[in-house]
Structure formats: C-alpha cells, structure tokens
Structure 1
Amino acid sequence: MTSINEPRVVAGPVSGRLRGLARTGLIATLAAVAATTLAAALARAAGVDFEIPEGGETIPLSGFAVVTGFFSIVGVVIAGALLRWSARPAVRFVWTAVSLTAISLVPPVISGANTATITTLIGLHLIPASVMIPTLARSLRNRTD
C-alpha cells in the first residue's frame, strides 16, 4: 500500500529522451568506430606507417577502434549530461564537442611523426567527429534551440 506522502519516481520526458540519446549514441559510436578503423586500414594499405617517433611504436588498427569507441562514448555521456542539466543542450554540445575535437588535433601535430602520419591522424580525428557531433546534436535538439 502506498501513502500520499511517499515520493514516486515518474519517468518523464527527459528519461525517455536520455534512452533515445543513448540508443542513437551507441549506433553512432559503432558507425564512427567502423569508419575510422576502415580509413586507418586504407591509409595503412596506402603506405602510412602510423609510427610515433617517441618510443618507436606503431599504432595498431585495434588502437584506432578502441580509442574512437571510448571517446565517442564520452561524447554520448557529455550529451546526456547536457540534456539533463542544460537549457540549450544541442548548442552547448556542439560548442563543447568542436572545442574538444580541436584540442584533440594538437597531439598528432606535436608527435614528431612524418607528414603522412600527422595528416592521416588529423583526418582520423575528424572522421568520428563528423559522425558523432551532428548525430548527437540532432538528437539533442528541442523546440527551444
């Protein structure tokens, strides 16, 4: 038996939108991982070595998939937080995501790798951004944006 004074949790419009955002984000993440890994494989086949001079290691294809998946999920979490706590989540998300993408371009440039590797790494940062940012921003849009 419930009393009038007991609080009830009611699934409101935000929780439904969060579920939709999570579903959309997961699908976009899978697309971003596939596109980035495919582009890296094609670049490797074209002769890009992905060798980072510091330590002399070569970035494996699985590394592109894992890092893309991780940071794409981070983007979904940021989008979810903005949906929950921002009056204008789509606008805030685009500004945040574009800023973080710009910051992510710095490490390839200062890595000391050859020009082909640097250029390809920059492109491989922009591929998942071009998938995730518009997809999540569309999912966050509401009548007030």
Structure 2
Amino acid sequence: MDGTNDTGVAASPASGRTSRTHRYRGLARTGSIATLAAMAATTLAAALARAVGVDFEVPDGGESIPLSGFAVVTGFFSAVGTVIAVALLRWSARPAERFVWTAVSLTAISLVPPLLSGADTTTTAALLGLHLVPAAVMIPTLAWSLRTRAD
C-alpha cells in the first residue's frame, strides 16, 4: 500500500509539470493564431483605407508605408504581446488582469508616434485606427486565454 502512495506522490510533480507546459504551449498557440488574425485584419483595414484615398505617406522621406509593412509590424508586436502573456502566466498571480493593464497601456503609448509623425490628418487618423485593430484582436483573445489557463 505504501508503494501506491509513493507512486502517486512521484507522479504528481511530473503531471503538474506537463500540465504547466501544456498551458504555456496552449497560450502560445492561441497567441500565434491571434497574431495571424491581427496581421490579416490590420492589412485588410490598411488596404481598405488606401482604397478610399489614404496615402500613408510619412513626412520623413516622403515614402508611403507599404501594406506588407503593416503586416510585419503587427506580427512583431503581436508576438511580443504573446510573450508578455506567457511571462505573466508564469510569474503573475493574476495574469489576465496584469496583461490587460499592460497591453492597454502599451497600446495607448503606441498612439503617440502617429500623432507626432507630421503626416496629414487622414493618414494620422488611419494610423491611429490601425493601431487599435490588432489591439482589438490580441487583447481580448489573450486575456480570455489567460483566464482559462490560470490556476
């Protein structure tokens, strides 16, 4: 009978480790899918804005931001958001709440550069909106996933 109890005790840490690894991988998978969705949504929104006449020309150099640029930047910062979510799942007692506060704060900070860019009003307004599109995809998705994966 003692052998059964010993086996149960020995299996518990291993299964806890597997469960923890599964939570991190699941969150990373959710974040990856949300990142692809955010990239698609942002690129589509930029294409629609361009179709109605927004030129996305920034004063520094006078070049227009390409659609691929929106996808790349969205992908990079969405991946950063996923890494932040995984870190908070690992080290925070309240990962979902901390993630929402962090992500909303970083989104607010990201609105400053378009305002300072010196671009025309339509480009600035479109850029502000395009900062909110991936936030609207990533923040609720990762917050929900953190809530379902937290202990």
TM-score (norm 2): 0.87
Distance in 2 (alpha carbons) for counterparts of 1:71 and 1:144: 23
| Deviation beyond 4 Å, 4+ runs, structure 1 | 142-145
Aligned pairs for 1:1-145 (under 5 A) are: 11-142=17-148
The answer to whether the 8 A contact 2:84-2:99 is kept is: yes
Partner SS state of residue 74, structure 1? helix
- Shifted more, 8-17 versus 46-55: the winner is 8-17
| Structure 1 residue 9, shift from structure 2 partner | 9.5
The equivalent residue for 2:3 is none
| Structure 1 residue 12, shift from structure 2 partner | 3.7
Aligned Cα RMSD in Å? 2.2
1:97-128 C-alpha deviation (Å, 9 max, x unpaired): 00000000000001000000000000000000
Count residues with an aligned counterpart: 140
Partner SS state of residue 61, structure 2? coil
Name the CA shift for 1:131/1:144 in 2 (closer, same or farther; >3 Å): closer
| Structure 1 residue 56, shift from structure 2 partner | 1.0
Query: Structure 2: which 5+ residue stretches go unaligned?
Result: 1-9
The answer to whether the 8 A contact 1:35-1:128 is kept is: yes
Partner SS state of residue 118, structure 2? coil
Distance in 1 (alpha carbons) for counterparts of 2:138 and 2:124: 22
Distance in 2 (alpha carbons) for counterparts of 1:108 and 1:68: 15
| Structure 1 residue 64, shift from structure 2 partner | 0.1
- Percent identity at matched positions? 76
Distance in 2 (alpha carbons) for counterparts of 1:143 and 1:76: 14
1:52-86 C-alpha deviation (Å, 9 max, x unpaired): 01221210000000000000000000000000000
